[in-house]
Structure 1
């Protein structure tokens, strides 16, 4: 059946009734999934009332066929309804770019578009290069933040994406989940959203509760770590940059455990070496129940010996913390605190000098303990030496000098 032109006819656009057999879908339609139930419902409507809005097509060069520009859902429903032809707006002079642009625009202005279809359409518009976020926002009358948030939904795993379109979770909940990687999304789905999950099921929860639960169960509090976190402040895996609301002073939680682990290991290794440089006669050690195997392995590769701690250490005195003026109500109170601090500093210096002298005399042994979460300095009394060692101090000095040389190397 050939196309039959009716009523409107302009230079580049004409209204026509075209045989469905002569029409085929295009490859650039941003809409890829078509719900069978909604297609059947539309087909029933078309059977009763016919097509209310024409689809858009353009001629395929060198043939008598047409390619769909927009309206593929109406085309599919008409086939289900057993129709032979369909009303169409024929664009006789439409480039590929213009056809794709029309398809995107038509999809975005549909009343029945699902959240995931909208997300894919917006992403296609940005990926096409014809829009940036500002121009697309003007085109569709939405904010740039809205567009970025919607496009983020395209990173959802398929199982969670389907829950949005079936309205089993809200778009707001899906948006919170989309902020995290595939591993976390998969675990959230299997543990809390999958059909049949009865314990800790998150369906029906609001977005803020889901966000807090993900942060609590799948991220690590950065305040527990002492490495330099300046880069974490702007990291996309820091929940402080994912969540809408964060408490003042909060450093955020890390949702990238592998990166967190490497930073932590690097910090502990560097701290251990720096501490040894400050106390070159100290020994590296670890306790039986608190050790960091990865840091121990790195230090061993660097040529250091690490002992297993055989007793309890006395902590090395901590350096006093200077008072902060903004924490005092009056200048007098602050001056008193400064004076007390200076006294503590002097006492600390004297205690450290005393311990250094004892270590050099062999009365105590300094130990740098490599723990799971920190590196600490401590000491214990040196056990009495056998009589031959006491009678041969030169051998003991030579041993310490050799150890000092090895540590410096």
Structure 2
């Protein structure tokens, strides 16, 4: 290693390095550094290397925060003339300087999340893909963690900027990197950041659910997965999980457009073997998802013969190739109406002349039967007492029938056999007769058990916002401010500076157990929390035995739906 020399350098002889990943030099921690230097001076010299740049003689390798704080003080006192800072001068090339900058910054553990990711990017960018293992070994940071952070730079810059400003969580970005289509990413980004349009920010779980729901299951492919290279494809959620260690559903294709095209090509090639072609002579198909309800008309009683030769006569299929509607018209509505009336007139005439007993109009039976139920059912339900078990049975049936995501859960729990039971729960549907048959035979205790379980699942679904869950929790006397507790996972996602900040705000560092652990286990001076690494601060909070229940950082409490209200309401308690 080249010789190091100590010297006090004038500030105007020094320039920052363009490779320093740290970009933020403001905030409470920086103000504290300025105050400290004003009081006792710069205790730890900065590290510089000789390099002429912009009229200066030295470039900073480590210690830019100290340099900027000292510069701020000098400028406040009239200028840089005569202002000096203690420095260690060492000759080194760009590669060595980058090594020291990256490792030094990462080990200080108070970079912002974006700065940390940029440090990874700069190091690997200069040294090549193989440098990920080297960086992990030298810093103690897991390779999977580094790779996940590097993957963020595939996202649009505006997404990263929103993350850096705190508008998005890392979990949001982790889900967005699963997508490859920039338009799709930006569409989700608009939903995530437009609170006026969507009521409240979309949670990470809601985003994960929405992306997974839109991502087809690979096992639903009609084409040969191996032949098409799907097992090793970067759009395969299993590959993403293995590469980045992210929480995703198994066996999903994140490139819906590609999956759909391969399905289309395979089905088209084998269409003459399909049910709609064999049974009804349907010569073409379309995917149901490409049409709104008003874009097609169903031939409920079969299509007229002349329509079957029309290009607009098709079957509508699910993305998995199953018929949703086997005979529909996607063409002109007037043409459809004319053909339907012609067929209906023909059918009515035939039914009326066969033996004189057939209905004149085919829809009368359905219409008046349904009219009876609309009038009579509500009146009959009113006659039942609130504790009648049949009411609870019907509530459970209506609850599950109206929420598709509960069908799969109920089928598995009650061993109801179905062909598609292992498919995505958002696609799976129980036959209404099977569902009603099981519920109608259940005992009261089982009905209540299922209601509890179903409700527990529903309140955690993406259709509910965090604020709604907050209100429901208060109604059930579950109060975040009293029962929330700091966890290992929460601390792992915080920077050292953030842990120190909320630790002081919550008076955690005044607890005797914390002080004892700091002195006796970590072997540090009492009260010297700022000298701890992030990993040591986490040990302090997790292993010292301090009671963390009800110690809630402001960021977790902020945004309470009743925060602005004086009225707490029944069962609620305002923060």
**TM-score between both structures, scaled by the size of structure 1:** 0.58
**Deviation at residue 66 of structure 1 after TM alignment:** 0.7
Contact 2:61 / 2:101 at 8 angstroms: preserved in 1? Answer: yes
Task: State how 1:330-369 maps to structure 2 within 5 Å.
Answer: none
Contact 2:219 / 2:251 at 8 angstroms: preserved in 1? Answer: yes
Aligned partner of residue 111 in structure 2, secondary structure: coil
**Deviation at residue 372 of structure 1 after TM alignment:** 4.2
CA distance in 2, matches of 1:28, 1:188: 32
Match of 2:16 in 1: 25
Aligned partner of residue 12 in structure 2, secondary structure: helix
Cα 1:189–1:291, aligned 2, differ >3 Å: closer, same or farther? closer
Deviations 1:306-357 (A, max 9, x none): xxx9x9479xxxxxxxxxxxxxxxxxxxxxxxxxxxxxxxxxxxxxxxxxxx
From 82, 101, 116, the equivalent of 1:118 is: 116
Match of 1:226 in 2: 222
Match of 1:100 in 2: 98
**Deviation at residue 178 of structure 1 after TM alignment:** 3.0
Q: Which has the larger radius of gyration?
A: 1
Contact 2:2 / 2:92 at 8 angstroms: preserved in 1? Answer: no
Match of 2:49 in 1: 58
Match of 2:151 in 1: 152
CA distance in 1, matches of 2:263, 2:200: 32
**Deviation at residue 196 of structure 1 after TM alignment:** 4.6
**TM-score between both structures, scaled by the size of structure 2:** 0.43
Contact 1:34 / 1:73 at 8 angstroms: preserved in 2? Answer: no
Aligned partner of residue 213 in structure 1, secondary structure: helix
Match of 1:191 in 2: 191
Contact 2:178 / 2:254 at 8 angstroms: preserved in 1? Answer: no
**Deviation at residue 163 of structure 1 after TM alignment:** 4.7
Cα 1:81–1:284, aligned 2, differ >3 Å: closer, same or farther? same
CA distance in 1, matches of 2:108, 2:63: 10
Relative to structure 2, which stretch is displaced further, 35-44 or 136-145? Answer: 35-44
Contact 1:285 / 1:370 at 8 angstroms: preserved in 2? Answer: yes
**Deviation at residue 45 of structure 1 after TM alignment:** 4.1
Contact 2:195 / 2:201 at 8 angstroms: preserved in 1? Answer: no
User: Is 1:215 the equivalent of 2:206?
Assistant: no
**Deviation at residue 191 of structure 1 after TM alignment:** 0.8
From 47, 72, 76, the equivalent of 1:80 is: 72
CA distance in 2, matches of 1:78, 1:195: 41
Cα 1:201–1:64, aligned 2, differ >3 Å: closer, same or farther? closer
Contact 1:176 / 1:211 at 8 angstroms: preserved in 2? Answer: yes
Contact 1:292 / 1:370 at 8 angstroms: preserved in 2? Answer: no
CA distance in 1, matches of 2:206, 2:286: 36
Cα 1:25–1:124, aligned 2, differ >3 Å: closer, same or farther? same
Deviations 1:361-393 (A, max 9, x none): xxxx9x9x86443599x99xxxxxxxxxxxxxx
CA distance in 2, matches of 1:81, 1:197: 46
**Deviation at residue 285 of structure 1 after TM alignment:** 2.7
Which ranges in structure 1 are unaligned for 5 or more consecutive residues? 1-9, 294-308, 315-364, 380-409
Structure with bigger strand share is 1
Match of 2:60 in 1: 68
Contact 1:18 / 1:87 at 8 angstroms: preserved in 2? Answer: yes
Contact 1:159 / 1:189 at 8 angstroms: preserved in 2? Answer: no
Cα 1:64–1:201, aligned 2, differ >3 Å: closer, same or farther? closer
The total of aligned residue pairs comes to 291
CA distance in 2, matches of 1:209, 1:65: 54
Which ranges in structure 2 are unaligned for 5 or more consecutive residues? 76-82, 289-298, 328-575
Deviations 1:34-82 (A, max 9, x none): 2543555544443344334322211126986111212223323332222
CA distance in 1, matches of 2:322, 2:196: 46
CA distance in 2, matches of 1:236, 1:200: 32
**Deviation at residue 22 of structure 1 after TM alignment:** 0.9
**Deviation at residue 94 of structure 1 after TM alignment:** 0.8
Structure with bigger helix share is 2
Cα 1:266–1:175, aligned 2, differ >3 Å: closer, same or farther? same
Task: State how 1:7-406 maps to structure 2 within 5 Å.
Answer: 12-31=3-22, 33-37=23-27, 39=30, 42-60=33-51, 65-82=57-74, 84-91=83-90, 93-129=91-127, 132-167=131-166, 169-181=168-180, 182-194=182-194, 196=196, 198-202=198-202, 205=203, 207-216=204-213, 218-222=214-218, 224-230=220-226, 231-242=229-240, 244=246, 251-252=251-252, 254-272=253-271, 285-286=283-284, 291=286, 312=302, 371-373=315-317, 374=321
Aligned partner of residue 60 in structure 1, secondary structure: strand
**Deviation at residue 208 of structure 1 after TM alignment:** 4.7
CA distance in 2, matches of 1:132, 1:34: 26
